[in-house]
Structure 1
């Protein structure tokens, strides 16, 4: 597999969401809160997550265990949509605590866990990291 435009979009959106997530979460925590920053960056983060999830549907890998080219990591696509929908639903109901928990869970599962899977030596980004950049494996 090589870098295609859809992989470039997916990779850019995913890495951006990974970096932006903690900033969004920080903007509503601590002694000084920044609600306008939190809201603006939050919408940007949600947009990046939707871009990541939708683009993932167009990336298939027939080398790993799969069903029609979809590997187990693709199960995180509905997790992202469920988490974002639940977070906005809770926000609309005024349940800020559940909104925060849902967004944190979405960040951890979709950015941290999925990111860890992409660094496996058999995955595209893992091959770039371990073989090309570090000269290992």
Structure 2
């Protein structure tokens, strides 16, 4: 593991990665903790803020495609749409649909792009495996 590479990365990449890791932790707690409680609602707001931070900071990460957007940036509008959908369904009391929105957002905006960030040659690959 080479954390020095991470600390040498631009601030927006560091914020992006740390927000994603925090959202992963908060999301895991949200799925395992009791639902409908004040802590669940409070952590929900934290999760939404973290996911918006992840999506917005991703717009400034363009190393893959020579300064342009790449295919992985498709997750930005999907994330923002998912956050809105998740929030609206929670506000309307549509708990079953809210649960599916949360799961879709967690898998589709955190897990899948997170795994893609560990592709050989990318920063997270280099940090984790020293490549």
TM-score by length of 2: 0.86
Which deviations, in whole Å up to 9, do the C-alpha atoms of 1:92-131 show, x marking residues without a partner? 332111111001100011111011000111211112212x
Distance 1:20 1:92, change over 3 A: closer
Q: Do structure 1's residue 76 and structure 2's residue 78 form an aligned pair?
A: no
Which residue in the other structure is 1:39 paired with? 41
Task: Give the helix-richer structure, 1 or 2.
Answer: 2
Which residue in the other structure is 1:123 paired with? 122
Which residue in the other structure is 1:10 paired with? 16
Distance 1:67 1:91, change over 3 A: farther
- Rg comparison, structure with higher value: 1
Distance 1:94 1:34, change over 3 A: closer
Distance 1:15 1:52, change over 3 A: same
Q: Any gaps of 5 or more consecutive residues in structure 2? A: none
Contact 1:27 1:37 in 2 (8 A): no
Q: Do structure 1's residue 21 and structure 2's residue 27 form an aligned pair?
A: yes
Q: Any gaps of 5 or more consecutive residues in structure 1? A: none
Contact 1:53 1:80 in 2 (8 A): yes
Which residue in the other structure is 1:51 paired with? 53
Contact 1:27 1:35 in 2 (8 A): no
